[in-house]
Amino acid sequence: MSKTIFIREINGKFDYPIVIGEKIILQKIKFVEKEIKNKKVIIIYDDYFNLKKNSVLYDLNHYMLKIANDVKLISIKSRDKNKNLKTLRFLINKILKFNIERNSIVITFGGGVIGDIGGFVSSILLRGLSYIQIPTTLLAQVDSSVGGKTGINTSRGKNLVGTFHQPKCVIIDTKILKTLPKRELYAGFAEVIKYSLIMDKNFYNYLNINYDKILNLKEPYIKHTVYKSCQIKSQIVSKDEKENGIRAILNLGHTFAHAFESELSYKSDLIHGEAVAIGICMAFRLSSKLNLCKNSEVKKVENLISKYKLPTTINEIKTISFKRKSVFKKLFSDKKVKDGKLTFILCQSIGKAMIKNDIDENTIINFLKEEINE
């Protein structure tokens, strides 16, 4: 049994379904068959998957060959260090060789990197192709596939080149999560927890009480977890597509996380969800330091992050080291910097986020001294 959320912009600019269930990919592709029939289809997929008979990717390709005019598959490595201009050029040249037309459609099949760069290339080719997202990681299912943010990383920072380009449909199959390596699965829970912390204490309680069932992908717990995460994000994006206001709270933990990832040149010692988990805990510790929230709230957040097998401090990652000054400089590459001032998403309590852009720089420097061992 699947669940559907419709994400609708308040002025009618976009309106599309997010469908969540088990073993639903082909079933729901049929649901949007009119977008595909007799058209050229490009499937950009994570090379983690293969085209063995009876695999999900094989079945998807087999079905497309029946209804599309032509189908081309392109595989790329789903790593943040590959979400760059080089891979973008590769995709552009590869897709243009297929003699695409303006009604051609892109399907992204993979994690957040695939969705981000695949969505970006679809937004710029022929001034905009339609695309469908089929996210295969938990992080992509609950976060990057929803809301239309696409883009690539640069040496200056994460996601600094990109567009807002909404998909025609998002198809989320929770069954496919069982194919994920444990580290990738756990990383996705950082974004799930984030939703509870920014605006839904009841969801926080649900995650806290049912963590063991959710971690082990038990139904209906995992489906509800994905559904609730997408529902919260959809509500925010519908009100603020281009992050001119409330959408900024979705970046809880990300200002610190992106600085760490960029400083590491996106090496796999620290993957995105792990960086976000640390960033969330840092945001709560900074909130407490500024007397915005109680220290007891910080401890609750750290406890929940730990339950989902994620780090709470950067010093827990023994294979990496940082210079505080370098991390501080990287903070200024954040997209939320305005008039040269840093903007942080902090919390007054669990379920109540706020945007803070008036923190003294020396306060941040001193905070980093407490957080980062040199």
Cis peptide, bond prior to residue 311, ω within 30 of zero: no
Percent helix, percent strand, percent coil in the chain, to nearest 5:
50, 20, 30
Torsion of CA 291, 296, 301, 302, to 10 degrees: 100
Token output for 128: 């905009």
**Active-site residue numbers?**
127, 149, 191, 233, 243, 247, 251, 254, 258, 272
Buried/exposed code over 8-35 (b: 16+ C-beta within 10 A; e: otherwise): ebeeeebebbbbbbeebbbebbebbeeb
d(CA 86, CA 72): 20
State phi, psi for 154 to the nearest 5 degrees: -135, 175
User: CA-to-CA distance for 279 and 348, rounded, in angstroms?
Assistant: 16
In 3D, which of 155, 133, 139 has the Cα closest to residue 45? 133
Please give the Cα distance from 334 to 113 (Å, whole number). 19
Hey, what are 347's tokens? 């919390």
Give the Cα separation of 28 and 7 in Å (integer).
17
Please report where in the chains the tokens 């590769």 appear, as a residue: 90
Q: Determine the number of helices (DSSP H) and then strands (DSSP E) in the chain.
A: 14, 11
Which residues are CB-contacts of 279 (< 8 A; sequence separation ≥ 6)? 252, 253, 254, 255, 256, 257, 260
Residue 290: helix, strand or coil by DSSP?
A: coil
Exposure of 143 by Cβ count < 10 A (0-12 exposed, 13-18 middle, 19+ buried)? Answer: buried
Angle at 250 between CA 249 and CA 254, to 5 degrees: 100
- Selection from 372, 281, 364, 268 nearest residue 321 by Cα: 372
